[in-house]
Structure 1
Amino acid sequence: MRDRMSKELQQEVNLAGEVHTWRSLLFLAHRCPDLLQSPWEQHIKLFLNWIQENENCLVKLATPYLGEVYASELEEALSGNHVAQDHLIQNHSDNPVIHLNLRYLFSVDSRTFLQHLKKLLACWYKELLFSDMPHTMLALQQDKQHNEQISDVLKSTELIRLVTKGSELQPHPGVDTLWMIPQSAYRPFTVINYLPQCLVYYYPVADEFLPGGIAQTQMMQVAALHKALGDVQRIRLLSLIRHSPKSLGELTNTLNATKSNVHHHLTLLRTAGLVQVEDGVYSINHEAVSQVGTELQVVLGMQKNKMLEE
């Protein structure tokens, strides 16, 4: 995909990856009032016009929901209170997405932020999505219809575990609404988002609904799996979270490595489906690991070494 990007788009994508403004777009999309009542062909234009009209309060609208416990402090931080800003950043230091996103939003001016989002979204759509949108929308719609049908016979916990490939639904105080939204742009990851009284799972659209089908996806998964297992440091990470989930900070301290280095390794493990993350805490995907082979299971202590027993 990067080979198809203009230099302008590459610059915006790099920034979005560093400070997680892709997540800002998710928050803004939920708050844009015109999208649900209009056809998808009009969404980009409507959304760009809406964020332009809301330039003065755009940073506030794009700020992640941190829960009611932080509501008043977040309001102060967005008003320029540096003590509140530093406190919120420090309190979320174990979550690299929230931590870096807050740091950026507290420092950027509205005009710069608006221009970044407009270029990121408009160029991404024009250069990467436009020609494939009919196929993409069809895949998303088919996935949605399929899961609506099976939701009648599955509990919420079972449905989430199935469509997200392993995520567990945890109780969240104050949450009374659960949204499940298929996506293709961030496959194979599931993005979890928090809104007032809402928990949102943006889950990867199922393989069978994508162009090329399951066969093409399986080849990519096998390649990602072997790449993920081709480094001793990544095997160490799997071993560390084998018995108990750990945050990025805990893993960094244990390995005496930099956060960026550990995060890179964790990303490759997530791409292969071996690791999952929720609320900044990484855990092993036991079902995925069990399908890899006995050697990995022996290394992680999930299966006894039969040769040693003999």
Structure 2
Amino acid sequence: MDVFHTTSRKRETYEVRIEASLLWECALGIAAITNTRLIDTFEKPKESWDKLMRSLSEPLIGDLKYAEKNNTWKSLLLLLHQKEFRDLSEFIMFLDGLEDKRLRFICIPYIGMKFQELRTHASEGDESSRNRLKKQTEDNPFFPDYIEFICTTNVHDLRNHLKSVMTGWYKEVIIPHKETLSQILERDKQSKEKMSGNLKSEALVEWATGGITYLPEPRVHTVLLIPQSIYRPWNVEGDVEGVKVFYYPVANESIYPDDKDMPSYFLVQKHKALGDEARLRMVKLLKGSDRTLQEITNELNMGKSTVHHHLKILRSARLVETLDGKYRLKENAVQSLSNELMQYLAED
């Protein structure tokens, strides 16, 4: 059936902003070292994380254990979105100046405008609102417990913990590499800003994140791109009022600016991911149809934990994604691999 269009209005999209700061790197470092589920898939080998942990002071190790138990890295990220902080001392002053209810409110995850009233009441101690928020976020692996913690913990203790863990990580992990990290983040920010003049918003997001397709959605007017090196190769997604956030992995070129032959990070990761018999079998299996973890386990006659490990590697290389509880092969990513390789080989 033909449709007669009475308007020439184009589909609205979002604007893209790019920010870079060592404070984001600090909070994401705390998130990374306390994420035991993913730590063996990060670019930095687990042995390096173990070595780093052994080098930390006892007070900081205690703070990190508390952060791992209660996911307080989420609080740090939400707080960092409240304004553009120039340095750590300004962030600490901001924390000290927050009223208790306001601190709780900020630390409760934003899950949509229609739930803002529940978020307010929960921050004020209303148990019914807290339980409704937990119900709304039950599909998230940690939100319900995190919301319970934020709404019921002693605010004075929470404030002191956030100040302590942020200060400890910044002084012990960030400062020794401050100049190098600052240069990496700024180079990547500048490269994305330069490319923003050549790409539309959605294409820019996909290019910066290494393949995430983010389509416009209601009430989201801005996408905030934040470069990070500590969580490579993963993107970390977040939501604040009216803003979708991608803490994306910095490009190889930003880390090694003088190496003109440095290949794209995801080009390397894709070939690494496919350089294993078990993972190639999974790719072939998923080429036929989407499968659950249990279906893949049964089909390949392998242990579930082993299959899950291989799937995490395929996901981190952007070759596999999850949808409705099933794993799906990103066929475009596989098909474009030879073209990406030839493009790299052809570069002067």
- With the length of structure 2 as denominator, give the TM-score of the two structures: 0.65
What are structure 1's unaligned runs of at least 5 residues? Answer: 294-310
Q: What code does the residue aligned with 1:127 have?
A: E
Q: What code does the residue aligned with 2:67 have?
A: A
Partner of 1:50: 94
| Structure 2 residue matching 1:185: 3-state secondary structure | coil
2:149 is the counterpart of 1:104: yes
2:131 is the counterpart of 1:80: no
**Greater C-alpha radius of gyration:** 2
CA distance in 2: counterparts of 1:28 and 1:149, whole angstroms: 29
* Structure 1 residues 218 and 267: CA distance shift in structure 2, 3 A: closer
2:136 is the counterpart of 1:91: yes
Shift of 1:17: 3.8
CA distances 1:249-293 after superposition (whole Å, capped 9, x unpaired):
x8689989xxx9998776554444444579999765445555789
| Structure 2 residue matching 1:106: 3-state secondary structure | helix
Alignment check: 8 A CA contact 1:179 1:200 kept: yes
Alignment check: 8 A CA contact 1:144 1:182 kept: yes
2:52 is the counterpart of 1:4: yes
| Structure 2 residue matching 1:189: 3-state secondary structure | coil
| Structure 1 residue matching 2:239: 3-state secondary structure | strand
Shift of 1:162: 1.0
Alignment check: 8 A CA contact 1:167 1:276 kept: no
Structural mapping, 1:1-310, within 5 Å: 1-5=49-53, 6=56, 7-32=58-83, 35=85, 38=86, 43-54=87-98, 56=100, 57-211=102-256, 214=262, 221=269, 225=273, 267-275=312-320, 284-289=329-334
What are structure 2's unaligned runs of at least 5 residues? Answer: 1-48, 299-304, 339-348
CA distance in 2: counterparts of 1:53 and 1:12, whole angstroms: 22
CA distance in 2: counterparts of 1:122 and 1:69, whole angstroms: 35
Shift of 1:194: 1.6
Shift of 1:11: 3.5
| Structure 1 residue matching 2:64: 3-state secondary structure | helix
Partner of 2:21: none
Percent identity reads: 29
Higher relative contact order (CA 8 A, sep 6+): 2
* Structure 1 residues 11 and 137: CA distance shift in structure 2, 3 A: same
Shift of 1:197: 1.7
What is the count of residue pairs matched by the alignment?
Answer: 278
Computed over aligned residues only, the root mean square deviation of the Cα atoms, in angstroms, reads 4.1
| Structure 2 residue matching 1:96: 3-state secondary structure | coil
